[in-house]
Amino acid sequence: MKKDLFPIFNNNHEKFAYLDNAATTHKPQSVLDSLMYFYTTLNSNVHRSVYLLGEKATEVYENSRDVVASFIKASDRREIIFTKSTTESVNLVAYSWGEANISVGDEIVVSILEHHSNYLPWEQLAKRKKAILKIIPLGKNNDITIENVRSCLSNKTKIVAITHISNVTGTITPVKDITREAHAVGALVLVDAAQSIAHVPIDVKDLDCDWLVFSGHKMYGPTGVAVLYGKKNILESMPPFLFGGGMVRDITNEKIEWAELPNKFEAGTPSIAEVVVLGTAIKFLEKIGFDSIIQHERELTTYAFQKLKTIEKVITVGSPGLAAQGAIISFVVEGSHPHDIASLLGEYGVCVRAGHHCAAPLHSYLNIQASCRLSLAIYNSKEDIDMLIDGLKYAKKTLKI
């Protein structure tokens, strides 16, 4: 429906079905134009330049912060910190807040669905501090149930770090309810929105989460920019994570004074152009609107499930059922290895991912070595799914299964 807006689909003569959007999305013309515009018209460093060009660059850079804040309904623009990746955002919290607040015997809760980037920083923090890492298991429908969340919470729980949508199974977790339960025992909550930010509307005030993290490149924006949202009072209480230029207010006196939010957490020259372009990507998303995005992706997800069912030996893994299902489906083909299937799909012009998708704990839990994954975006069509189905037939025929 929207392929025309994305030059990549016009610049490749061979037709291809891009179904790897959970890894990264393509960029619309408006986003690419915005990148070119910044570098050809406004390029200079931000914050410290007093000449006109530098002031203009600072203005558009800071304007992006407003766009992000309004997009996720943050109450204060200073609650938006720009980082280079979702991984960095999580690590920032795990190091800055974690080092200062976690001690021996404290409990850190994650779910079995987590991507390594929202698992390892906490696992390592727990190790450093001799804290306990608790892992929320899946319910019987492969979902995250409030009962299972509750069973992991105690008055020793200091933080719950949970994905909003699983990058493997597409499971949507009840982050609002989880946050309420976590707050009831005095724990803080970090939401990994990397897989949800481009697919469902997010209101951080409504969720009441303490931190929320996501990347630009999975929402039709550029690589090299990501966001850490944090409640103002919490961010203010956290020590800096990276030290250097721009994050200090006064070092002439005996006592060093850190810069105010958000600069305290943005040491060094940021990804200026990428931050600016992220603003354009958000405007692009808002123009399409989440009602239309959800309807389109839901229709395609339902269609994909129906079609996959028609192929013998194709088994979807860990799907929670349509009620809690985002636009991501993982599957295996009995009697074959996911790498072989993905390679053959690749030969057929179908882009899917194979492996454990940086979620090894989940794959062990589901008792599979690896899986193939399809993940949808606004430009996908039923034709793409049909191509996947034909590709699967080709793969099975080639491998004689």
Partner 1 sequence: MSELYREIILEHYKNPHNYGSLEKPDASIIDTNPLCGDTITLEINCDENETLSDVAFISRGCALSVASASILSDSVKGKNIKDIEMMNYNDMQDLLEMKVGVGRAPCVLLPLSALHKAIKNIKKN
Residue 372 Cβ vs partner 1, minimum distance, rounded to whole Å: 11
Cβ atoms of residues 122 and 108 within 8 Å: yes
**CB of residue 399 to partner 1, shortest distance in Å:** 7
Q: Least CB distance from residue 389 to partner 1, whole Å?
A: 18
3-class SS of residue 206: helix
Our CB check for partner 1 shows the closer of 84 and 337 to be 337
Of 336-395, binders to partner 1 (CB under 8 A) are 336-340, 343-344, 346-347, 354-356, 360, 363, 369-370
Min dist CB 354 to partner 1, Å, is 7
Total residues binding partner 1 (CB under 8 A): 19
Nearer to partner 1, 185 or 399 (CB): 399
Regarding 317 and contact with partner 1 (CB under 8 A), the answer is no
Q: Report d(CA 196, CA 209) in Å as an integer.
A: 15
Quote the CA–CA distance of 200 and 66 in Å, as a whole number. 20
Does the annotation count 358 as an active-site position?
Answer: yes
Pairwise CA distance, residues 114 & 162, whole Å: 7
Distances (CA, A) of 290 to 259, 294, 295: 36, 6, 8
Considering the candidates 209, 351, 358, 372, report the single residue annotated as catalytic: 358
Distance CA 271, CA 398 (A): 45
Q: Which 174-213 residues touch partner 1, going by CB under 8 A?
A: none
Query: Cβ closer to partner 1: 303 or 394?
Result: 394
| Beta sheet of 314-316, edge-to-edge order | 314-316, 328-333, 371-375, 353-355
Which among 86-94, 153-161, 249-257, 331-339 is the span making contact with partner 1, rule CB under 8 A? Answer: 331-339
CB of residue 215 to partner 1, shortest distance in Å: 21
Longest Cα pair distance anywhere in the chain, in angstroms?
75
Does residue 87 sit in helix, strand or coil? helix
CA 33 to chain centre: 24
Q: Where along the sequence are the contacts to partner 1 (CB under 8 A)?
A: 336-340, 343-344, 346-347, 354-356, 360, 363, 369-370, 398-400
Question: Could you give the residue numbers annotated as active site?
Answer: 358
